[in-house]
Amino acid sequence: MSTRVTGPEIETLIQLLAKMPGLGPRSARRAALHLIKKKDQILRPLANAAAEAAEKVDECITCGNVDTANPCTICMDIKRDRNVIVVVEDVADLWALERAKAVNSLYHVLGGTLSPLDGIGPEDLNIDQLITRVAETPSNPEKPMEVILAVNATVEGQTTAHYITDKLEDLNVRITRLAHGVPVGGE
């Protein structure tokens, strides 16, 4: 049995931090110690922010983005071009495009890619919601709706793009692709 050097609360904090992407047990211990030393400046505000986010954060019923507003802030933004939907795999891609100010339209977050080998089929992704969304958008004869597939250039990403293209075929919609997709969680 290993000897404990801290109480269980700190041990729990370290174990949770170690689950963060990019943090192993060692850096988790360092982060925990930093938080504890900066109790009033970081630890308390972080705990409050985390509790508040946990309370309020939700998946947008329209686009699959995560936000504390539902429908999300982007879906409710009337200054965006509502005739264009950019389809991304993950919320991280949406955030990357927003940080790059690359898009001034709406989004649709699939929540992954089709991957038969991993048992991920269309019903596991927000694809039906996308089709319904496009079908229910009133058509403007002068400017048909546009769906931009910004999925990654992986085999799964391209399979997903083909599948969606097929599904949207009968709807009055222009489908384009972002040639190289976007870097996942790109900084």
Residue 167 contacts residue 105 (beta carbons within 8 Å): no
User: To which residue do tokens 């972002």 refer?
Assistant: 178
| CB closer to Zn ion, 14 vs 103 | 103
Closest approach, Cβ 75 to Zn ion, in A, equals 3
Beta bridge partners of 149: 87, 177
Closest approach, Cβ 35 to Zn ion, in A, equals 32
Alpha helices in 68-126 (DSSP H): 91-99
DSSP reduced 3-state for 140: coil
- Binding positions for Zn ion, rule: CB under 5 A: 60, 62-63, 65, 71-72, 75
Two tokens at 93? Answer: 């891609």
| CB closer to Zn ion, 27 vs 73 | 73
Closest approach, Cβ 71 to Zn ion, in A, equals 5
| CB closer to Zn ion, 59 vs 124 | 59
